[in-house]
Amino acid sequence: MEGKMKVAVMNGIGEMGFLERDIPKAKDDEVLVKLEYVGICGSDLHYYETGRIGDYIVEPPFVLGHEPGGVVVEVGENVTHLKVGDRVALEPGKTCGHCEFCRTGRYNLCPEVIFFATPPVDGVFQEYVAHQADLCFKLPEGVSTLEGALIEPLAVGFHSAIQGEAKCGQTAVVMGAGCIGLVTMMALKAMGVSNVYVVDIMQKRLDKALELGATGVINGMEKNAVEAVMELTNGAGCDLVIETAGTEITTIQAIKMAKKGTNVVLVGYSKSGEMTLPMSLVLDKELTFKTVFRYRHIYPMAIEAVANGSINLKGIVTNEFNLDDVQNAMDYSVNNKADIVKAVVRI
């Protein structure tokens, strides 16, 4: 396909703009996708506000966005499983395929991964992208490209639940009711966890958790979250805690509310990158820490869970913005974190 496309770029901290670039051409093992929706992730906002995450530093002009859904408009010569017109969800990380981690199936740990919107790799706040075909997953009838864009955060939720060895009969607690906390809660429910409680300090987010199927919620501003969980579990503690807020306070609470011998899954990144935790209590309880870095082998499962009605992905979307309005989309998302659960950019 010949022509130009509009690309939204970050020109500096708090500053968005637009460029015109050539529409990319699909290589033999790629497809060209006309993007329809791209989610705004917390990492996008962090880059926008600070210009960096750890050692990843933005060098403008930089394209944000790594949660895409769209429609195939061109197919590479070697691609047989997709055709023009297919709606797809795009897994945003291309790995090397030959390192120790790729060869053992843990490709999310590949040190050579090329991941959308992770400097210096551009993201997809743009009209078209050419992407490796086996990282483009066809969406079944009834699953929209909006939901396709949200498969990426949902994959994090499922990976978190799997890391925690979630199963039927458990009582689990999710710390944090942002996007990742909510998709984790829904993933736990879809995997058969009997009771899933969500803790946050923002009531609007807790209301959304109840709307999406949480067994119950705890407002940490109104109650002692640890005492509330111990009361709900008759003093035993919960069978699984998944921490998505990324704060020292909520991580300590997770340790205190976990039943002896169980798993605590750490998903949220702390702003400082360091925490002081009560390790004597961790040892006394013989807790197992599991951690999460993105996901692996999850997209088909996540898509099926949406297709069969187990998970209401559309329900987490609270705000939609047009690509032309991307400056407002980013500013509003930064300044209204208490009101926004998930914002998406409509391309």
Second CATH level (architecture) for the domain 156-291: 3-Layer(aba) Sandwich (3.40)
- Mean per-residue pLDDT for 20-33? 98
What pLDDT shows up at residue 290? 98
Task: Assess whether pLDDT exceeds 80 at residue 108.
Answer: yes
pLDDT of residue 197: 98
Task: Give the pLDDT confidence score for residue 38 in this predicted structure.
Answer: 98
Residue 191, pLDDT above cutoff 90: yes
What is the mean predicted confidence (pLDDT) over 30-58?
A: 95
Report the chain's mean pLDDT, rounded to a whole number.
97
At residue 337 the predicted structure's pLDDT band, cuts being 50, 70 and 90, is confident
Which residue ranges make up each domain of the chain? 4-138+317-346, 156-291
**pLDDT over 90 (residue 286):** yes
Percent of the residues in the chain that have a pLDDT greater than 70, as a whole number: 100
The reported pTM is 0.96
Q: Is it the case that residue 315 has pLDDT exceeding 80?
A: yes
- In this predicted model, what pLDDT tens digit does every residue of 232-279 receive, in sequence order? 999 999 999 999 999 999 999 999 999 999 999 999 988 778 999 999
**Looking at the domain that runs over 4-138+317-346, which CATH code has it been given?**
3.90.180.10
- Same fold yes or no, 4-138+317-346 and 156-291: no
Task: Encode the chain in three state secondary structure.
Answer: CCCEEEEEEEEECCEEEEEEEECCCCCCCEEEEEEEEEECCHHHHHHHHHCEECCEECCCCECCCCEEEEEEEEECCCCCCCCCCCEEEECCEECCCCCHHHHCCCHHHCCCCEECCECCECCCCECEEEEEHHHEEECCCCCCHHHHHHHHHHHHHHHHHHHCCCCCCCEEEEECCCHHHHHHHHHHHHCCCCEEEEEECCHHHHHHHHHCCCCEEEECCCCCHHHHHHHHCCCCCEEEEEECCCCHHHHHHHHHHEEEEEEEEECCCCCCCCCCCCHHHHHHHCCEEEECCCCCCCHHHHHHHHHCCCCCCHHHCCEEEEHHHHHHHHHHHHHCCCCCCCEEEEC
127-138: average pLDDT: 98
